[in-house]
Amino acid sequence: MGRLASLVGQTAWYGLSSMLGRAIQFLLVPFYTSLLDAAEYGIVTELYSYVAFLNIVYLYGMETTYFRQVKENPLQETHLFRLIQSSIFLSTLLFSALLLATSSFLMEALQYPGKTDYMMMLVLIMAIDALVVIPFARLRNFNKAPVFAFNRLINIFLNILLNLFFLWLCPKLIDQGYELAWFHAEDLVSYIFLSNVLANACWIPLFYRHWKEYRWHWDGPQWKKMMLYAMPLMVMGLAGMVNEVMDRILLKYWLPVGFYPQWTSQQALGIYGACYKLSMFMSLAVQAFRFAGEPFFFKQSSSSDSRQLFAKVTKWFTICCALLWLGVSVNLFWIAPIFIRDAEMRQGLEVVPWLLLANLFLGVYYNLSVWFKLSDTTMAGTWLGLAGAVLTLVLNFFLIPVLGFMGSAIATLGCYTAMLLLSFAWGQKAYPIPYDWKSFLRVILVSACLIFAQTWIPPHMAWMLAYSFTSILLFLLMVYYEYQSELKKK
């Protein structure tokens, strides 16, 4: 139980930076939805979806490769850091130059002609993200979760302050008669990207010690060995990002004209993007767990009871996430108005429970993926990711024209469900782990029934609050009854 407690402690620290930081960022959602219309918010949603996709190319699997190489050669950590960082420096320079050289063509293709400044800022965001990923990985490797959390939170708080300065204070000063010739009030979207650039720039001095240790280093044979491990991870990451963001990219283009008589495709994308934000409660929990879980799995893999430990981690991860799925879904009636101020943008809330469940299944898939990372069969992850990507495209193609943005949400759930089942079936043959699947099905079905039952509750605040409390209490009682012997252990 001590190792499990250690993982919980590490997850809590990483969760501090992810959950608290993103919770603060959630305050920007009502801020954005009160200042931007649905079409403008659609621009932010779409372009940040491309950023998430391109970040995979900037990193090309080197973060996981770092953990794997350090596990095999812990005494050569500095050597490995310098080699991997050199590789990322070079690739970041080349890829950024390519994007900037083609920025005019790319923005026209995305139907944003003349907005090359957007591309320049997005390239800077991605470049800085790439350059600090290995320093952040070192903090995780050395179990310096508090420092990791501090560096993340500094960036987040600065981003918040800059957004407030550019989007609230500057327009207010202009309204009061101050002359700000440099400020373009008609293009608030650009200042969202600029705030991100400036906030990311703060990481450069924060990682001074790592830059001080860094020296250009190149080891051709070892680099090739690392790339053989990393390339399948990059393809897997790209396929995974197709599953994660492609719904928001394709919705704008595959939604039939007039499907929503009151909205354009750009506005529908903005509404879906705003409601998608509420599913971030689950994705943040998954992200916090991944930050702690990946180095934990590698370090525990040599233990004699590692497989039983992995099964226990997956079981309790699922229980906690099922509680989160239930808690958010049955409380949307008061959570949504807090974060999405524009009533029009709340008309897509039906997608939220589906997206929360999709992210829960994605988290379970990340737990299952330990088998191909530890057995050095990363190509398995590549094939699973590609299968999910193909399914994402196919489901979106057929469901968006019929169901609109609900089709995108169902496609996301269908993709992650398929990937979870395929990974389990394949992994149990190659690297058997005694997962408690009865427990998994039990907590998912109980949560689903409680969420579905809410549709029969009268839409009055008192009734909804009473049901919310009752449903969560019933879930907790079920967990205590089923697992009281484990819960009573130290």
A 10 A CB-CB count for 446 gives 18
Q: How many CB atoms lie within 10 A of CB 14?
A: 22
Q: How far apart, in Å, are the Cα atoms of 312 and each of 294, 433, 445? A: 15, 10, 20
Token pair 């994605």 is found at 362
- Mean pLDDT, rounded, for 351-367: 93
For the record, the structure tokens of 393 come out as 């495209």
Q: Which residue has the higher pLDDT, 329 or 22?
A: 329
Q: How far apart are CA 89 and CA 76, in angstroms?
A: 20
Confidence label for 254 from pLDDT (cuts 50, 70 and 90): very high
Where are the chain's structural domains?
2-487
Q: Which two structure tokens, joined as six digits, stand for 270? A: 């903005």
Please determine, for residue 275, whether its predicted confidence score (pLDDT) is greater than 60.
yes
Mean pLDDT computed over 38-61: 89
Token pair 């979207």: residue: 189
Q: Among the listed ranges 31-40, 210-219, 292-301, which one has the minimum average pLDDT value? A: 292-301
Q: What percent of the chain has pLDDT over 70?
A: 92
pLDDT at 474: 95
* 338: helix, strand or coil: helix
Q: Is residue 190 within 8 Å of 219, Cβ to Cβ? A: no
The pLDDT-based confidence of 366 (bands split at 50, 70, 90) is: confident
Q: Kindly state the average pLDDT of the residues 55-76.
A: 87
Q: How far apart are CA 21 and CA 32, in angstroms?
A: 17
pLDDT the model gives residue 127: 96
Using one digit for the tens of pLDDT, what is the confidence trace for 407-459? 999 999 999 999 999 999 998 888 888 888 888 899 999 999 999 999 899 88
User: What does pTM read for this prediction?
Assistant: 0.76
Mean pLDDT for the chain overall: 87
Tell me the per-residue pLDDT of 197-244, one tens digit each, with 9 for 90 and over.
999 999 999 998 888 889 898 988 989 988 988 888 788 778 878 888
What pLDDT does residue 307 have?
85
Kindly report the backbone phi and psi dihedral angles of residue 86, in degrees, each rounded to the nearest multiple of 5, phi listed first.
Answer: -65, -40
Would you state the pLDDT for residue 18?
59
pLDDT at 473 over 90: yes
Dist CA 149 CA 287 (whole Å): 13
